[in-house]
Copies of this chain bind each other. A is one copy, B any other.
Amino acid sequence: MVSKIRVAVQVSSSMLLRRFATASTSLPPTIRQLLSSLPPTGQAVEVQLSGWIKSVRRQKNVTFAVINDGSCASGLQAVLKPGATPHNLTNGASVRICGNLVQSMGRGQSYELQVEAVDILGECNPEAYPIQKQALPVEFLRDNAHLRARTDINAAMLRLRDSVLRMLHSYYEAQDFHYVHTPILTSNDCEGGGETFRVSPASSAPPSRQSPDPSAQAEFFSQPAYLTVSSQLHLEALAASLSRVYTLSPCFRAERSQTNRHLAEFWMLEAEWAFINHVGNICDVVEESLKNVLQCRSEHALLWKDGDEAKLKTLEDASRPGIPWTRISYTDAVNELQNYHASSRVGFEFEPAWGRALQSEHERWVSERLVGGPVFVTDYPTSLKPFYMRANDDGQTVACFDLLVPSIGELVGGSLREERSSHLVEAIRRHGLKEEEYGWYVDLRKYGSAPHGGYGLGFERLISWMSGIENVRECIAMPRWAKRMLL
């Protein structure tokens, strides 16, 4: 038996090697690889594979079990003779199966596995197993964060993240951007907000105890260290050498508000590049890269449900290459909001006015009602935006944009950066920031300053938009938010 299995594995992996030029000789094919490399002739293929049991249906003359190793959404239906079905073949058990992959007579799958032998590698008591077949409450799964990835939806979300990341990496590579790493620990607080986390060595007295020497803990880096809220300033330093750079970095905000689009720890994709003069060119890159990514439909079957049709149609419309996304200035958007507010019986909770921030209700109205899709809102008032954005010639606005999308609100924010050192120094003063803290940043403008700009994209929000999963807490493997950090 053992030698037979060994032969079977060799046959199937050499077959796969032809298809996957760089495939390893060390790792056997996954279920996805097996299913995507079967011969078109329909001949049976002897295989060995491993995975977890997703469902079991015992009938009189035959047992059907779905086995999946997480490599794809569908898994594979295994067909067992009742006599050869172990009693502990239950949901959640891990197994190794040998058998023949044959074209299926049943509906719903084109191949099934006729099982020759099955080994239970790890049992799973079906009564005790928290991950049951039926849909489980969101809160229950958050409490079981270590097992949550075993649900079909969460696994599909994780595969979607992987696919989207690869498409983004490919996009930037084709544009000759360099993938760089900017620091997580920083002395700067990019947005000037108070919602940063402070870092100190655990081996010095922890913050909850009173230290005899109050300065002892701050000494590790000779100055206070914070967790980054944005990589942008550091990316600018690198763009001044490599021209085009991007990073995918964890970012941290000690935000106490509980919304479905905020996390204390989240991933941000930030790109920055030199030799660009118009904010519209930044929008071009954002739009092109996202339309590319929106083509990814591999997990749609698991993620989108009956009743989601309208949201899904908006998403699919947005992915069409030929049709440009709407662009509107902040000033025009405020006019539209004011007209609606004056003419509609309902109106907004907050009255829209030029110079005031757009509230969440305003953003949603612009993208969901006015435009019905993604929309770039550009050229916000100077007073609403951070110091580093480039001043427009009108003296009142900056060359920036927010990309608003239905259901989510702000997905991307970007701008030209102020490359004129005198303008920048003035903006730092006007914002009440300490010049000495931004000395290095101003320095970047002293030596061969170049016009440049970039943007940041909230990765979990993108996944939320693309999956229809409403809360970003379900768009990351192990979410952290105020009062919650399991594992």
- Please, how many angstroms separate the alpha-carbon atoms of A321 and B181 in the complex? 30
- Asked if B150 contacts A222 (CB within 8 A), the reply is no
Interface positions, chain A 237-270, Cβ under 8 Å from B, are 237-238, 240-244, 249-250, 252, 254, 256, 264-265, 267
CB of A410 closer than 8 Å to a CB of B: no
CB contact between A70 and one of B184, B218, B241, B444 (< 8 Å): that residue: B241
- Asked if B440 contacts A149 (CB within 8 A), the reply is no
A159 to chain B, nearest CB (A): 6
- Asked if A210 contacts B221 (CB within 8 A), the reply is no
CB of A224 closer than 8 Å to a CB of B: yes
A163 to chain B, nearest CB (A): 9
Interface positions, chain A 169-228, Cβ under 8 Å from B, are 169-171, 173-176, 178-188, 194-203, 206-211, 214-215, 217-227
Interface positions, chain A 422-473, Cβ under 8 Å from B, are 440-441, 443-451
Given contacts A147-B443, A240-B149, A485-B221, is CB(A24)–CB(B181) below 8 Å?
no
A477 to chain B, nearest CB (A): 6
- Asked if B124 contacts A448 (CB within 8 A), the reply is yes
Q: Nearest chain-B residue to A152 (Cβ)?
A: B241
Q: Nearest chain-B residue to A167 (Cβ)?
A: B22
CB contact between A176 and one of B26, B71, B176, B181 (< 8 Å): that residue: B71
CB of A364 closer than 8 Å to a CB of B: no
CB contact between A146 and one of B197, B225, B292, B440 (< 8 Å): that residue: B440
- Please, how many angstroms separate the alpha-carbon atoms of A25 and B477 in the complex? 35
Q: How many residues of A contact B (CB 8 A)?
A: 140
A208 to chain B, nearest CB (A): 5
The interface-forming segment of A280-288, A307-315, A354-362, A368-376 is: A280-288
A408 to chain B, nearest CB (A): 19
- Asked if A203 contacts B207 (CB within 8 A), the reply is no
A85-102 to B contact mask, C-beta < 8 Å, 1/0? 000000011101000000
- Asked if A185 contacts B123 (CB within 8 A), the reply is no
- Asked if A180 contacts B477 (CB within 8 A), the reply is yes
Given contacts A22-B174, A265-B185, A485-B187, is CB(A149)–CB(B237) below 8 Å?
yes
- Asked if B27 contacts A175 (CB within 8 A), the reply is yes
A224 to chain B, nearest CB (A): 7
CB of A275 closer than 8 Å to a CB of B: yes
CB of A402 closer than 8 Å to a CB of B: no
CB of A51 closer than 8 Å to a CB of B: yes
Q: Nearest chain-B residue to A122 (Cβ)?
A: B449
- Asked if B202 contacts A254 (CB within 8 A), the reply is yes
A-B contact pairs, 11 of them (CB 8 A): A23-B174, A70-B243, A71-B243, A93-B448, A145-B237, A158-B178, A183-B478, A187-B486, A207-B218, A221-B483, A237-B487
Across the A-B interface, give the 4 residue pairs with the lowest CB-CB distance, nearest first: A26-B284, A122-B449, A70-B242, A149-B241
* Given A124-B448, A198-B200, 10 extra CB contacts under 8 A: A27-B273, A122-B449, A147-B444, A150-B240, A155-B241, A158-B238, A197-B200, A202-B254, A206-B218, A221-B484
